[in-house]
A and B are shown apart, each in its own frame.
Chain A
Amino acid sequence: MSRPLFCALLACGALLGCEAEPTETPPTTPDEAPADPATVEFEARPPPVPRLTAAQYANSIAALFGDDIVVPPEPEPDAREGGLLAVGAGVSTLSPRGVENFERAAYAVAGQVLDAERRDRVLPCPAAELDRSCMEAFTAEWGRRIWRRPLTADEITRLAEVGERAGETLGDAVAGLEYTLAGLLQSPNFLFRRELGEPDPADAGRRRFTDYEMAARLSFLLWNVTPDDALLDAAEAGELTTAEGLRAHAERMYADPRSRDGVMRIFIEWLGLDDLDELRKDTAVFVAMSPEVGSAARTETLSLIDDLVFARDADFRGFLTERRTFVDRKLAALYGVRAPARDGFAPVDLTGSGRRGFLGQVSFLALNSHPTSTSATLRGKFVREKLLCQVVPPPPSDVDTSIPEPSGTTRTLRERVAEHLTNPACAGCHELTDKVGLAFETFDGLGVARTLDHGAVIDPSGDLDGVPFSDADQLVELIAGDPGFGFCVARHVFRYGTGTLDARDQEALVQTLADRFAADGHRFEGLLFDFIASPAFREAGRFEAGDVEAGDVQGGE
């Protein structure tokens, strides 16, 4: 196991839970070829039944009917688990308000799809000849796309009948068909993903996802959208349950520009970049703050990932260590670097700016700060939890957590939070967070570089689990070199792609993915394809043995 720290959550209510365990070295030595994740022993769990996320819903409507269809925003908020919407989708429900919003959205979409200008795109017969059999043909054709599987004869009859009766009531068959379409769009067969698997004909002891289920899994993983006709046809032809067919379609989809948006969701959810949409800063304190900063920062981070992963297929540790980023004029001013000549984003060299990689970006620095100040604790917690997959428990409930106001003798944050590191009730956990976070004090709560805090010189030095660093630049090198970083990337791909948190006995697979990732020069594309080929993506666990026991799934400790 490469995760160097072990904090038993429940034992950590008081004070001793955050004592770091000695760092372990990764199990694989460089001269030994890592195992193939496709052949690793793996205990599949009963698959989740995810609700489509708001983005998946909107993307799917646009892919099905055209992006000129206006979709009401976020009918129901997404849930997160382990920080990921992809995992939260497996536990989230639909509130009565959500059902109401999805109904309204279904009629809004159906009305547009079947309006006078657009109806000819979707009707299998001329509008004037829309009779029962044409309604059934429509239901069969569009039902397969919307429900991601062929409909049964009974399902077709029932929904066509709804449309036929509505057409009679309204005296307008096309208007009646809106009710059929609205029924398809409100169904759990669209709003939830039911991927329960089937016995594997090649191995009676195992279950695999079906061809149509694989079409959906692949499509939501790579494009974050419902499968297109090509994938559904491949499913019908039985191509997606074979290793070769799966790889061929994954490669085809990865090469398509749509994979940039889809795969980017993995990073957005892992790093919490959606929160940038709600970035709030007190503009009296941070004069450079404006409403555009959050979305600009998000674009910057995604541009760096796009460059590393898609443009160059480069070592992903560059996400932390690159001395190059992508800025617009707003960010250029904020970073004090040369602004692009034109509107939009352009690459810029950061050498000499004290800033490198993601940890030098507003995305990290501002999101992990308070509205009026920095936070060494939040920044350190992010590095430990999100980048190294270590656990930092919440503070104990009964401790006075205040830090003193700046005064004549305690001006910098380091001086003010000294209490965290000397009070034994706090030190266990704050050793982990603050010593890392204080390295980034050379950037204020928005991400502007500074050397002074309340007039005193900032000392950004410290140590990462005993290895000293003099500033954030050196710390970033240590984090990128920690095997925990590669493991953490692999774990988030696993979690995002399976929609579950890894159970303890599934960790061998995650570790194997991480080992191959490291041996392969940390190429993200390789990791992703290893995951797709692995049993985690292709095998469905059984329900017969009963539901997953509570507590069987670990949160990352």
Chain B
Amino acid sequence: MGDPMRGVKLDGILARGPLSRRGFLRGMLGGAAVSIALPWLETLAGKRALAQGSFPTRFGLFWWGNGMRPDAWTPTGEGAGDAWQLSELLQPLAPVKDRITVVSGTALKVPNDIPHHSGTAGSLTGMPLWVKSHEDQTMNGPTIDQRIAADIGGETRFRSLEVGLYPNRHTISYNGPDNKNPPEVSPAALFERLFGPEFRAPGEATEVDPKLALRRSVLDAVAADIGRFQRGLSAADRVRLDQHLTGVRELERRIARLEADPPDLAACLRPEAPVSEYDYIEGKPQIPAKSRVMADLAVMALACDQTRVFSFQVNSPIQNLQIAGSDQGFHNLTHDEPEPQVQVKRIVTSIMEEYTYMIQRLDAVDEGGESLLDHMALLATSDISFGRTHSLDEFPIVIAGTANGRLRAGLHYRSPFAENTSMVMLSLIRACGVNAGSWGAEGGYVEDGLGAIEA
């Protein structure tokens, strides 16, 4: 875990924030504990933050299941700028080509025991899948979003945010074996959680609700219960209860943050509540309508610094979503559609359209003259590369954003000898400010990032 005091950046002057601003106002107004909205403060905050170059680095994972087709995915040409051209499947990214890096030709170096799930584990944890039995598998370690959140998630209301589009049994975000972070798939519930009554936009400071402190006292009692409950349990069960304790402590911290003033961010606006749950219509999901509502909420969660890490799960491994007017589910098509797999390509393209949408929304958030995208790394990847054969070579990787100048953009890096995909992940982990010495295990273990994508 990272030092919680390390890198208090966003809060900067105003954030030490919450407390110091209240003191500041109190001084101005003769000691009366009043809070008033002072719009110019936000402007000042933005300028100060820019002057210090101090917007925090964020991480996002845009994930879809069932892969792509390497023959239609890999860009032509290599290098930066005009030296490369987008492929057929990446065509939607044309408006943001200078904001992304495509890494092609890397491979997962983990055993491919269970189609789809081995690739999810290999790419997101760098480790082999833990195969308990033919029907039960789990991750061996944390997924990349949680590894990063462990270091940079401690300062925000939510350590990380998990968003999905439709219910499914396969969660991609794990803290460790069997330790899942299930995604929120309801727009109303996601809105309520992020921007419900508890949320306060910048300048909306109000009297602190005494019930918040009471809730913390109950959580303290629950934490003590957990300690006693753990006595005599097996090591594995103690780990499970430790996770419960972690959740309780995080909730206490979250409540404490609510008792402080909200972060001062010019781009943070309380969004409108979603108007629909976007259920299936005639057996088909509402993509892109639902995807965009959920993406907007996730982007605003970052803009309001409610979290600095999120994952966005379009579908799940093997899930047969019928996307983009296809006449079968995506997974079936990857296996059964004859060449040249027009429908598979159309589905992958439509998923890339949603990725592009998210990139553009992040790029539209102004942070001191730069954009939120400049201050983050947004990784897009999948569970496999070529769906028909469940291949783990030619693994799909696109990165958007430059992580506060730590990553390059406008690049196609073509791996000359099927380098380990874990190298890309380690570069991203480090670019997000995590001082990690290595990533992965066994064949997926690496100590070096991929220098070519680092600035």
Which A positions have Cβ atoms within 8 angstroms of B? Answer: 9, 13, 46, 48-49, 51, 76-77, 79-83, 91-100, 103, 107, 158-159, 162, 165-166, 169-170, 179, 182-183, 186-189, 191-192, 194, 196, 278, 280-284, 289, 370-373, 385, 391-395, 397-405, 501, 543, 547-548, 553-557
Contact = CB atoms under 8 A, between A and B. Distances in A.
Given A79-B180, A370-B329, A391-B134, A399 B284 contact: no
Contacts of A159: 221
A392 B243 CA distance: 34
A100 B136 contact: no
Contacts of B181: 95-97
Given A81-B136, A289-B283, A179 B390 contact: no
B241 A99 contact: no
A91 B241 contact: no
B280 interface: yes
A189 B244 contact: no
B447 interface: no
Nearest to A155: B225
A179 B212 CA distance: 11
B136 A103 contact: no
A392 B247 contact: no
A183 B222 contact: yes
B335 A93 contact: no
Contacts of B5: none
Interface string B414-434: 000000000000000000000
B178 interface: yes
Contact of A405 (B115, B159, B229, B338): B338
Contacts of B135: 82-83, 385, 555
B162 interface: yes
B282 A49 contact: no
Interface of B is mostly: mixed
A394 B247 contact: no
Given A49-B240, A188-B244, A371-B320, A282 B178 contact: no
A358 B251 CA distance: 46
Range of interface residues on chain B? 35 or more
B113 A397 contact: yes
A282 B182 contact: no
- 5 tightest Cβ-Cβ pairs between the two chains A and B: A555-B133, A99-B247, A397-B112, A93-B243, A188-B229
A210 to B, nearest CB: 13
B136 A555 contact: yes
A510 to B, nearest CB: 16
B132 A555 contact: yes
Interface of B: 112-115, 118, 131-136, 158-160, 162, 167, 169, 171, 175, 178-182, 184, 193, 210-211, 213-215, 217-219, 221-222, 224-226, 229, 232-237, 240-241, 243-244, 246-248, 250-251, 254, 280, 282-284, 320, 322, 327-329, 332, 335-338, 388-392
Contacts of B167: 278
A371 B338 contact: no
A399 B387 CA distance: 11
A182 B218 contact: yes
A194 to B, nearest CB: 6
11 contacts: A81-B132, A98-B182, A99-B247, A158-B221, A278-B167, A282-B283, A282-B284, A371-B320, A403-B335, A501-B133, A555-B133
Nearest to B229: A188
Contact of B251 (A100, A183, A188): A100
A97 B328 contact: no
Given A187-B225, A393-B134, A547 B389 contact: no
B169 A80 contact: yes
Given A97-B182, A391-B134, A398 B390 contact: yes
B328 A186 contact: no
B229 A194 contact: yes
